[in-house]
Amino acid sequence: MAKPLDLKSTINLPRTDFPMKAQLPQREPQQLAQWEAEKLYQRILESRAQAPLFVLHDGPPYPTGDIHLGTGLNKIMKDMVVKSKTMAGFRSPYIPGWDCHGLPIESKVEKQLGGKKDSVAPAEFRRMCREFAVKYIDQNRRDFKRLGVLGRWEKPYLTMDPEHEATIADAFLTFMEKGYVYKGLKPVYWCISDRTALAEAEVEYADHTSPSIYVRFKLAQDGPDANSIPAALKGKNVYGIIWTTTPWTIPASMALAFHPDFVYAAVETDSGDVYLVADQLRKSVAGACGYKESKPLATYKGSELEAAHLKFHHPFLDRLEPAVLADYVTLEQGTGIVHTAPGHGADDFRTGQKYGIGTYAPLDDDGRFVEGLPEYKGKTVFEANPLIVKLLESRGALIGQGKLQHSYPHCWRCHNPVIFRATEQWFINLEHDHLRRHALNEIRKVKWTPEWGEQRLSGMVAERPDWCISRQRFWGVPLIVMYCEQCGEQFKDFQALRNVIRWFEREGADAWFTHSAEELLPPGTKCKCGSARFRKEKDILDVWFESGSTSLAVLKDGMWPADVYLEGPDQYRGWFQSSLLVGIGTRDRAPYKQVVTHGWTLDAEGRPMSKSAGNGVLPSEICEKWGADLLRLWTTSQDYQADVRFSEPMMTQLAESYRKIRNTFRFALGNLANFDPARDAVADSELSEMDAWMLHRTGELVAKCRAWYDEFEFHRVFHALYDFFVVDLSAFYFDVLKDRLYTFAPRNIARRSAQTAIYRITSALVRLAAPILVFTSEEVWKHLPRAAGEPDSVHMALFPTAEDFTTGLDRRKLENWESLLAVREQALKKLEEARSAKVINSGLGAKLQMRASGKTLELLKNYASSLPQLLIVSQVTVEPANASAANGQVDDIEVAHADGKKCERCWNYSIHVGENADYPAICERCTAAIAEIEGSRDPAVESANR
RNA sequence: GGGCCUGUAGCUCAGGUGGCUAGAGCGCGCCCCUGAUAAGGGCGAGGUCGACUGUUCAAGUCAGUCCAGGCCCA
């Protein structure tokens, strides 16, 4: 008589309370709160107190309302570096920082004041700026933390902190003391109605009607270089023709610029004069000026004219202007010759520097000429325009005029047109003490990721002009420069000046604005001339000098230089360069050993993301919709060395990938219910061969992932892990394992072997995934049985090692399994054919009849008993074949319907179903399993298993 | 316009020093399962390797030109 039995109750189905649905947007904040309450970051550092250091120095973002996706990507990458280094056994602190000073906040405060900046004292103005910065920093900090980034958030570094401001000022003094700093001229945007310098960002372009004039400059026929004048021009009335829309710059004209490669024609006009213009523009110039030209006397390349040392007479001043070369000269309009006023144009200034021509800018703050001819002296530049045109006319130099409407820079505050004006600025001399050469040397010693970074930065450093470090602003660190009130000399007692640093340490840089020079200096300080009264410099430092100094302020206690800097590609021009120069100027070396750059953040069409373009997506929105782990998955899914893209379809796809990973973890956890590694794990020698082989494969994966983490190749880690989850585990190993896990007696050694492997594999994968999926990994970790001594947070754990996965399985057997995997692929195709032909439905309904020869036959015979489980079919027969198939292929596989009846318990077909009178519906294997289960039914074991 | 970089299936990624019919996963199509179930499994169709011209017995891989895009300058 058959025993009554609930078959399903004898099956070991997965059981876990690890939820299938992630609900990341809801759960992640809870996890964050828990980490914060547990002081996870501090505990990690404490647990690594004796470990070797690995320092990533955070490039400080500028505090703004919402963080941009690119900023999110950057922070996530930094977090992955820190977490992976921590798990590799390093002590890797992360001190986030903010770049607090500078124009954007200053502008906001100005707006708040309704443009009446002068209505408050500098100290009060600075207080308001500070308030703004604090507000934004708090907001940013929330966003960054939400991404799962662990670090010293409660005490970040701020460039506006007193101690930090002191370090910046000190670095400046070091530069000054070592002789790098000099005062020079540089043209800047200048608003003559507000009497102030404007930053690039403070000018807006609007249409403006300017005079448009053609002016002729007469070639000097005498002088020391007269011999080199080309023969065709000798002794003639030759004129260089220029075109300009700013007649008022003519008094400051110092040179005529030619393009080195353009062809210039010397054409004789109806008046008998010879005019020099770009050959291509000959006709248009003649048309605009209303003269007739005959055929050209000669043509010259611009470079020839410069080589001939041509000089031209200024139309109304006693000045000779040399022909110079400039590659910004264009043929789009004008004459191909550009009158060059180094005091009133950025391009002109550079050309002037190159040729050692003076920077002449005879204007006061109101834009009035302080010297020159009576016709325009004392007038503002805009008043002077028509006067100078008239003057040119009266001197016979004006050969054409009109009006031109064009886009012209205007002041954002008063909306009046602005001018370029040379002003006194402070510079760091790149040649002093071979600063440039030293920098280029240091660049070579740094490891660049990607490698082309070296070339890129070298190119920039080699070409860059001297560093202008002064700004006419308030919200920043002042240049510690003082002048004697009596003799006017710059005060250069650096020991005394460093007293200011002490003030800054106590009160911050505000001290500069609230105390007199005499208070800031040590009591009794005197100038060489004997005077004790000093005047403070008003300028503040370029914020790039500040951010360039952050490593000095942040990396204490043997942390300097940093192991790595990691930023976007815009920082070659910015932080990488400023940090390098400050590092060399103060400590004679680069502040970083390695520099990693990631790409720019683009939308689906490859356009850069920005709020103004309307294609920007905020990290906070992504966290709300998808979760931070999804954003982190996005970050790792792509190769960051190129630009990275963001689109909704990508996120949908990643969400699917995430779901797969999560479910696979969940399956593993479900099958580890009641599994206690300390009690139930099977020794290596007792492992089923397939399990040992899978452990081996896991070991290979571990080795690869660790190497990739080492090289910061996160996307390779992601793709390898993901493929392992999908292909090796979900589609293969776990699928094959179901039969053993579900139908074998719970404590059967073969089932324990499977669980041992699942446990070890899962424990490894969750740790490898932890730097990427910081929340999900923690969730898995908490559900995973933990060995004694393992930390309660996955982020405190160490990465697995490949050695953890050596089981002693010999090489030949490993290869056997690789071959069997190939056989499996072959069999699956045949099974699919049989399914379409309706021979079978499920694989378990099949019997495979294989024919093979040689080594393959031998292999299949040796593993005959494992084949049905490996292929998830009910029966497999192996017969010798006549022909021998190519490398490891089975010659033939035939699929037939399985023999016997379907076992109601394990769903395998067997001819033995019904043989056991007690359980007529089950097969011989299940009969044995039930006997094993019943044999072990003693209450003590039972309770231990529940 | 200049410097540097990027361009392999719909998407993301592999393809040392040139050498078999260019690979993977996802997505897609078709099918199976219902004991991972708002899961799981299988098979299949997708690529002129941005374009062109060279070097070579042989090029996704080397060289040149061009096109598209990015960062930074101008």
Per-residue 3-state assignment (H helix, E strand, C coil) for A713-741: CHHHHHHHHHHHHHHHHHHHHHHHHHHHH
Q: Are residues A283 and A208 in the same domain?
A: yes
Q: Is the pLDDT confidence value at A946 over 50?
A: no
Shortest CA–C1' contact from A574: which nucleotide?
B72
Q: Is the pLDDT confidence value at A533 over 70?
A: yes
Q: Which of A382, A416, A450 is the last residue of a domain?
A: A416
Residue-wise pLDDT for A71-114, tens only, equals 999 999 999 999 999 999 999 999 999 999 998 899 899 889 98
State the pLDDT confidence band at A698, using cuts at 50, 70 and 90: very high
Average pLDDT, chain A: 93
What's phi and psi for A674, nearest 5 deg? Answer: 70, 5
Q: How much is the pLDDT for A937?
A: 65
Residue-wise pLDDT for A195-210, tens only, equals 888 877 778 888 889 8
| Structure-block tokens of residue A75 | 């922070």
Q: How much is the pLDDT for A942?
A: 46
Q: Are residues A531 and A559 in the same domain?
A: no
Q: CA at A832, C1' at B46: how many angstroms apart?
A: 21
State the pLDDT confidence band at A137, using cuts at 50, 70 and 90: very high
User: Backbone dihedral region of A154: left (phi > 0), alpha (psi from -120 to 50 degrees) or beta?
Assistant: alpha
Q: Nearest residue to nucleotide B7 when comparing alpha carbons to its C1'?
A: A642
Shortest CA–C1' contact from A346: which nucleotide?
B74
Q: CA at A615, C1' at B47: how many angstroms apart?
A: 30
Q: CA at A347, C1' at B1: how many angstroms apart?
A: 14
Residue spans of alpha helices (H) in A626-647: 628-637
Q: Are residues A247 and A337 in the same domain?
A: yes
The tally of domains found in chain A comes to 5
Q: CA at A48, C1' at B57: how many angstroms apart?
A: 60
Residue-wise pLDDT for A340-398, tens only, equals 999 999 889 988 888 888 888 999 999 999 999 999 999 999 999 999 999 999 999 99
State the pLDDT confidence band at A940, using cuts at 50, 70 and 90: very low
Strands A419-428 and A181-191: antiparallel
The answer to the question of residue A148 being in a domain is yes
| Structure-block tokens of residue A873 | 């079919």
Task: Give the domain CATH number at A527.
Answer: 1.10.10
Q: Is the pLDDT confidence value at A469 over 90?
A: yes
Residue spans of alpha helices (H) in A205-308: 282-289, 302-307
Q: How much is the pLDDT for A891?
A: 78
Q: CA at A211, C1' at B50: how many angstroms apart?
A: 47
Q: How much is the pLDDT for A806?
A: 95
Q: Is the dihedral of CA A296, A302, A304, A309 positive or negative?
A: positive
Shortest CA–C1' contact from A668: which nucleotide?
B36
Q: Which of A390, A416, A442 is the last residue of a domain?
A: A416
| Strand B bases contacted by the protein (CB, 7 Å) | 1, 3-7, 10-14, 24-27, 31-44, 69-74
Q: Nearest residue to nucleotide B69 when comparing alpha carbons to its C1'?
A: A606
Q: CA at A829, C1' at B45: how many angstroms apart?
A: 16
Q: How much is the pLDDT for A943?
A: 46
The answer to the question of residue A311 being in a domain is yes
Q: CA at A281, C1' at B67: how many angstroms apart?
A: 30
Q: CA at A657, C1' at B26: how many angstroms apart?
A: 7
The answer to the question of residue A5 being in a domain is no
Q: Is the pLDDT confidence value at A414 over 50?
A: yes
Q: Nearest residue to nucleotide B24 when comparing alpha carbons to its C1'?
A: A723
The answer to the question of residue A727 being in a domain is yes
Q: CA at A719, C1' at B7: how many angstroms apart?
A: 21
Q: CA at A54, C1' at B4: how many angstroms apart?
A: 29
Q: Is the pLDDT confidence value at A773 over 70?
A: yes
Q: Are residues A660 and A754 in the same domain?
A: yes
Q: Are residues A288 and A312 in the same domain?
A: yes
Shortest CA–C1' contact from A570: which nucleotide?
B71
Q: Nearest residue to nucleotide B6 when comparing alpha carbons to its C1'?
A: A642
Q: Nearest residue to nucleotide B2 when comparing alpha carbons to its C1'?
A: A327
Q: Give me the long-range contacts of A126-131 (CB less than 8 A, separation at least 24).
A: A126/A474, A126/A475, A126/A510, A126/A513, A127/A510, A129/A101, A129/A105, A129/A474, A129/A475, A130/A100, A130/A160
The answer to the question of residue A708 being in a domain is yes
Task: Give the domain CATH number at A146.
Answer: 3.40.50.620
Shortest CA–C1' contact from A907: which nucleotide?
B35
- The answer to whether A504 touches A162, Cβ cutoff 8 Å, is yes
Shortest CA–C1' contact from A568: which nucleotide?
B71
Shortest CA–C1' contact from A456: which nucleotide?
B4
Residue-wise pLDDT for A417-463, tens only, equals 999 999 999 999 999 999 999 999 999 999 999 999 999 999 999 98
Q: Is the pLDDT confidence value at A148 over 80?
A: yes
Q: Are residues A761 and A846 in the same domain?
A: no
Q: CA at A636, C1' at B46: how many angstroms apart?
A: 26
Q: CA at A852, C1' at B51: how many angstroms apart?
A: 50
Q: Are residues A513 and A590 in the same domain?
A: no
Residue spans of alpha helices (H) in A239-301: 282-289
Q: Are residues A796 and A903 in the same domain?
A: no
Q: Is the pLDDT confidence value at A938 over 60?
A: no
Shortest CA–C1' contact from A831: which nucleotide?
B42
Q: CA at A309, C1' at B64: how many angstroms apart?
A: 38
Q: CA at A45, C1' at B62: how many angstroms apart?
A: 50
Q: Which of A809, A834, A852 is the last residue of a domain?
A: A809
Q: Is the pLDDT confidence value at A881 over 60?
A: yes
Segment A844-848 mean pLDDT: 97
Which ipTM score applies to this complex?
Answer: 0.97
Q: CA at A217, C1' at B4: how many angstroms apart?
A: 40
Shortest CA–C1' contact from A459: which nucleotide?
B3
Q: Are residues A152 and A46 in the same domain?
A: yes
Shortest CA–C1' contact from A327: which nucleotide?
B1
Q: CA at A600, C1' at B70: how many angstroms apart?
A: 7
Q: Nearest residue to nucleotide B11 when comparing alpha carbons to its C1'?
A: A650
**Would you list the DSSP string of A156-169?**
-EETTSHHHHHHHH
Q: How much is the pLDDT for A407?
A: 83
Spatial CA neighbour of A56 closest among A592, A640, A797, A710: A592
Q: CA at A907, C1' at B34: how many angstroms apart?
A: 13
Q: CA at A151, C1' at B55: how many angstroms apart?
A: 55
Q: CA at A843, C1' at B43: how many angstroms apart?
A: 13
Segment A143-169 mean pLDDT: 98
Containing structural domain, residue A786:
13-18+643-809
Residue type, A729: L
* Residues in chain A, overall count: 946
Number of alpha carbons in the 13 Å side-chain half-sphere of residue A154 = 6
For residues A25 and A628, give the distance between their C-alpha atoms in angstroms, rounded to a whole number. 8
| Of A644 and A937, the one with more pLDDT | A644
Q: How much is the pLDDT for A944?
A: 44
Q: How much is the pLDDT for A884?
A: 56
Task: Give the domain CATH number at A794.
Answer: 1.10.730.20
The answer to the question of residue A465 being in a domain is no
For residues A113 and A108, give the distance between their C-alpha atoms in angstroms, rounded to a whole number. 9
Spatial CA neighbour of A701 closest among A685, A722, A682, A680: A722
The answer to the question of residue A615 being in a domain is no
Q: Nearest residue to nucleotide B36 when comparing alpha carbons to its C1'?
A: A667
Segment A645-673 mean pLDDT: 97
Residue-wise pLDDT for A717-740, tens only, equals 999 999 999 999 999 999 999 999
Shortest CA–C1' contact from A742: which nucleotide?
B35
Shortest CA–C1' contact from A665: which nucleotide?
B36
| Of A481 and A325, the one with more pLDDT | A481
Shortest CA–C1' contact from A608: which nucleotide?
B70
Spatial CA neighbour of A501 closest among A486, A520, A519, A518: A520
Q: Is the pLDDT confidence value at A783 over 50?
A: yes
Shortest CA–C1' contact from A609: which nucleotide?
B70
Shortest CA–C1' contact from A671: which nucleotide?
B36
Q: Are residues A916 and A827 in the same domain?
A: yes
Q: Nearest residue to nucleotide B5 when comparing alpha carbons to its C1'?
A: A642
Q: CA at A592, C1' at B53: how many angstroms apart?
A: 44
Q: Nearest residue to nucleotide B4 when comparing alpha carbons to its C1'?
A: A456
The answer to the question of residue A449 being in a domain is no
Q: Are residues A488 and A565 in the same domain?
A: no
Q: Are residues A278 and A390 in the same domain?
A: yes
Task: Give the domain CATH number at A269.
Answer: 3.90.740.10
Shortest CA–C1' contact from A825: which nucleotide?
B42
Q: How much is the pLDDT for A739?
A: 97
Q: CA at A33, C1' at B41: how many angstroms apart?
A: 40
